[in-house]
C-alpha cells in the first residue's frame, strides 16, 4: 500500500517536472525573442528608411495588440486547452518574426512586428502558459510553480539577447531575425507537454492512474461580470497598469537615459542584462514568499520599493555603480508581480477561468506599457529631459503600493441572480470599446507623427532629440 502511494507520488512529481520544463522553455523563448528586438533598431531603421520613432511604433502596436488579444486567447485556452492556443501562437510568432526579417517598408514591418507578433504574444506568452500551469500544478505548489515559470522568461532574455547580438554582427539583422523565427517554432513542439493528462492519485491503493476531472469554465460574459463587480479585481487591474508602465518604459528608455547623464552604451547594455539576471531570483522568490504572506501585501511592498529605487536613480550621483545597483534592484522587482497577480486571480475566481480573467488584467498592463513606451518618450521630447517621466513613475509606484493593500485573494462572491442579464455585458463592452477607441486614436496619432518625421528627416533622425545615434 505504502509503496503504491509512493510510486503514484513520484509519477505526479515527474509529471509536474515536465510541465515546468516545457512551460519555462516556452516563456524563455517567447519573452527572450521579444527582448532582442531593441538590438535591431539602428539597422532596421536604416534599411526601411525610417527613424527611431518608426521602429518604436511597431513595438507599441505589438504591446497593444498583445494586450487586446490576451483576454480572447485566455478564454479560448480555458475552453479548448492551452496547448492548442500555444501551438497556434508559436506558429504565428515564427511567421511574424520571419516577416520582420523580410520587411522592406514600414507598413510591412508594422504588420509583421506589430500585428502578427502582438497576436502571437497574446496566444503564446506567459499569460496562457501560467493559466495552464495553474491548472496542472497541485494547489499547494501552484504559486511556487508559477514563480519558476515566470523566472524562465528572464533566463530567455539573459541567453537570447547576447546570442542575437552575436548573430547580428556575424550574419546581419535579417538572417539573425530569421534564425529567431526558427527558434519560435519550438513553442509548437513544447506545447504538447502542457496538455491535461491522466494523473495518479497518491491515495489510490492500486496506484492506478485516474482521470482528473477539469472544472468547467463559466461563460466569459458571466465571469467578466462577476469580476467587474469585485472591488479587489479592479484594484488589481490598476496595479498591473502601473507595472506595465514601469517595465516597458524602463526596458526601452533606460539605456538612453543613462547616455543622457554621461554613461556609455556598454553601461546601458549591462544594466538591461542585470535586470534580466536578477529577475530570475526575484520571480522565484515571489513564488516562495506567496505561501507565507498575503499576496496583496507583497505586491504593495514591490511597488513601493520600485518607487524608492526610481527616486534613488534620479537623486543619487549618476555613476555606473548607481545605474547597475538600480538595475539589480529593479530586476528583483521586475516580474515578481506576475506570480502574485496571477495567483490572486486564481484565488479569487478559481482555475477554470484563470486564462481569460488574467488576460483582462494583462490588458490593463499592456495599456500601461503602451503609454510608458510611446508617450513617455514623447514627454521627454517635450520637456527636454526624462526627469518628469521618472517622477510620474515614482508617483504611480506609490499609488500602486497603496491600492494593493486593499486587494484580497479570497474567493469572489457569486454573481447575484438579479444582475445575470445584459447590464454587466454592456458595461464590459462599453469599457472595451473605450479602451479600443483610445488605443486606436493613440496609434493613429503616433503613426501620423512617425510619417511626418520620416518625410522631413534623414533616415536616422533620432526618436528623441535628446538621444542622437552615433
CB 155 within 8 A of CB 24: yes
- Residue 332: inside a domain, yes or no? yes
In this predicted structure, the answer to whether residue 356 has a pLDDT above a threshold of 60 is yes
| Cell, residue 245 | 508602465
- Residue 317: inside a domain, yes or no? yes
d(CA 151, CA 121): 17
In this predicted structure, the answer to whether residue 104 has a pLDDT above a threshold of 50 is yes
d(CA 403, CA 372): 20
Whichever domain contains 68, its CATH number is 1.20.1250.20
- Residue 177: inside a domain, yes or no? yes
**Alpha helices, H only, 81-125:** 82-102, 106-109, 117-124
CB 36 within 8 A of CB 336: no
* 3 state DSSP class of 33: helix
For residue 199, the model assigns a pLDDT of: 45
For 200, phi then psi, to 5°, come to -85, 135
In this predicted structure, the answer to whether residue 235 has a pLDDT above a threshold of 70 is yes
- Residue 158: inside a domain, yes or no? yes
Percentage of residues in the chain having pLDDT higher than 70: 75
Q: How many domains does the chain have?
A: 1
- Residue 99: inside a domain, yes or no? yes
- Lowest-pLDDT range, 107-121, 138-152, 223-237, 451-465? 451-465
Q: What is the DSSP letter of 209?
A: E
The residues facing 371 across adjacent strands are none
Q: Which residue has the higher pLDDT, 242 or 136?
A: 242
102 lies in which domain range? 26-195+219-446
- Residue 208: inside a domain, yes or no? no
Other C-beta atoms within 10 Å of 72: how many? 16
Taking each helix axis from N to C terminus, what angle separates 320-333 and 295-315, rounded to the nearest 10 degrees? 170
> Could you please report the per-residue DSSP string of 420-438?
-SHHHHHHHHHHHHHHHHH
Report the mean per-residue pLDDT for the chain.
76
Mean pLDDT of 151-162: 77
Each residue's pLDDT tens digit, 289-301? 877 888 899 999 9
Residue 281, classified by CB atoms within 10 Å of its CB into exposed (0-12), middle (13-18) or buried (19+), is middle
Provide the pLDDT confidence category of residue 52 given band limits of 50, 70 and 90: low
For residue 203, the model assigns a pLDDT of: 43
In this predicted structure, the answer to whether residue 197 has a pLDDT above a threshold of 50 is yes
d(CA 19, CA 421): 39
| Cell, residue 406 | 486593499
In this predicted structure, the answer to whether residue 60 has a pLDDT above a threshold of 50 is yes
d(CA 43, CA 109): 13
d(CA 29, CA 402): 34
- Residue 203: inside a domain, yes or no? no
- Residue 21: inside a domain, yes or no? no
Helix and strand numbers (H, E) in the chain are: 20, 2
d(CA 401, CA 39): 33
| Cell, residue 349 | 475566481
Mean pLDDT of 413-441: 47
Q: Which residue has the higher pLDDT, 187 or 273?
A: 187
In this predicted structure, the answer to whether residue 382 has a pLDDT above a threshold of 50 is yes
d(CA 57, CA 12): 46
| Cell, residue 388 | 518628469
For residue 242, the model assigns a pLDDT of: 95
Amino acid at each position: 500500500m505504502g509503496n503504491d502511494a509512493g510510486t503514484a507520488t513520484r509519477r505526479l512529481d515527474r509529471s509536474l517536472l515536465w510541465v515546468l520544463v516545457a512551460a519555462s522553455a516556452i516563456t524563455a523563448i517567447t519573452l527572450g525573442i521579444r527582448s532582442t528586438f531593441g538590438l535591431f533598431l539602428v539597422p532596421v531603421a536604416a534599411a526601411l528608411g525610417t527613424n527611431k520613432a518608426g521602429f518604436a511604433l511597431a513595438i507599441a502596436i505589438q504591446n497593444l495588440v498583445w494586450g487586446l488579444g490576451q483576454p480572447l486567447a485566455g478564454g479560448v485556452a480555458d475552453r479548448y486547452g492551452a496547448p492548442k492556443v500555444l501551438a497556434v501562437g508559436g506558429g504565428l510568432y515564427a511567421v511574424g518574426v520571419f516577416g520582420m526579417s523580410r520587411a522592406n517598408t514600414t507598413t510591412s514591418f508594422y504588420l509583421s512586428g506589430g500585428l502578427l507578433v502582438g497576436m502571437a504574444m497574446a496566444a503564446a506568452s506567459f499569460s496562457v502558459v501560467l493559466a495552464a500551469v495553474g491548472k496542472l500544478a497541485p494547489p499547494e505548489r501552484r504559486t511556487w510553480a508559477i514563480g519558476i515559470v515566470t523566472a524562465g522568461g528572464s533566463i530567455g532574455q539573459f541567453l537570447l539577447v547576447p546570442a542575437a547580438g552575436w548573430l547580428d554582427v556575424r550574419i546581419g539583422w535579417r538572417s539573425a531575425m530569421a534564425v529567431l523565427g526558427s527558434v519560435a517554432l519550438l513553442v509548437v513542439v513544447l506545447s504538447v507537454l502542457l496538455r491535461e493528462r491522466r494523473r495518479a492519485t497518491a491515495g489510490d491503493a492500486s496506484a492506478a492512474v485516474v482521470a482528473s476531472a477539469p472544472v468547467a469554465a463559466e461563460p466569459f460574459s458571466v465571469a467578466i461580470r462577476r469580476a467587474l463587480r469585485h472591488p479587489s479585481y479592479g484594484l488589481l487591474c490598476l496595479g498591473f497598469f502601473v507595472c506595465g508602465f514601469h517595465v516597458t518604459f524602463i526596458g526601452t528608455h533606460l539605456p538612453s537615459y543613462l547616455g543622457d547623464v554621461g554613461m556609455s552604451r556598454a553601461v546601458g547594455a549591462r544594466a538591461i542584462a542585470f535586470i534580466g539576471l536578477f529577475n530570475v531570483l526575484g520571480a522565484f522568490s515571489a513564488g516562495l514568499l506567496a505561501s507565507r504572506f498575503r499576496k496583496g501585501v507583497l505586491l504593495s511592498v514591490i511597488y513601493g520599493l520600485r518607487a524608492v529605487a526610481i527616486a534613488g536613480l534620479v537623486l543619487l550621483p549618476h555613476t555606473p555603480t548607481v545605474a547597475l545597483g538600480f538595475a539589480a534592484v529593479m530586476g528583483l522587482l521586475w516580474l515578481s508581480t506576475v506570480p502574485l497577480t496571477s495567483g490572486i486571480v486564481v484565488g479569487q475566481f478559481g482555475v477554470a477561468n484563470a486564462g481569460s480573467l488574467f488576460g483582462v488584467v494583462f490588458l490593463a498592463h499592456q495599456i500601461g506599457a503602451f503609454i510608458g513606451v510611446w508617450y513617455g518618450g514623447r514627454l521627454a521630447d517635450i520637456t527636454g529631459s526624462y526627469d518628469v517621466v521618472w517622477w510620474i513613475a515614482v508617483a504611480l509606484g506609490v499609488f500602486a503600493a497603496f491600492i494593493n493593500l486593499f486587494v484580497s485573494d479570497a474567493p469572489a462572491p457569486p454573481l447575484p441572480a438579479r444582475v445575470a442579464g445584459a447590464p454587466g455585458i454592456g458595461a464590459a463592452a462599453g469599457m472595451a470599446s473605450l479602451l479600443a477607441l483610445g488605443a486606436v486614436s493613440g496609434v493613429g496619432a503616433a503613426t501620423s507623427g512617425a510619417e511626418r518625421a520620416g518625410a522631413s528627416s534623414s533616415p536616422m533622425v533620432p526618436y528623441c532629440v535628446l538621444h542622437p545615434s552615433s
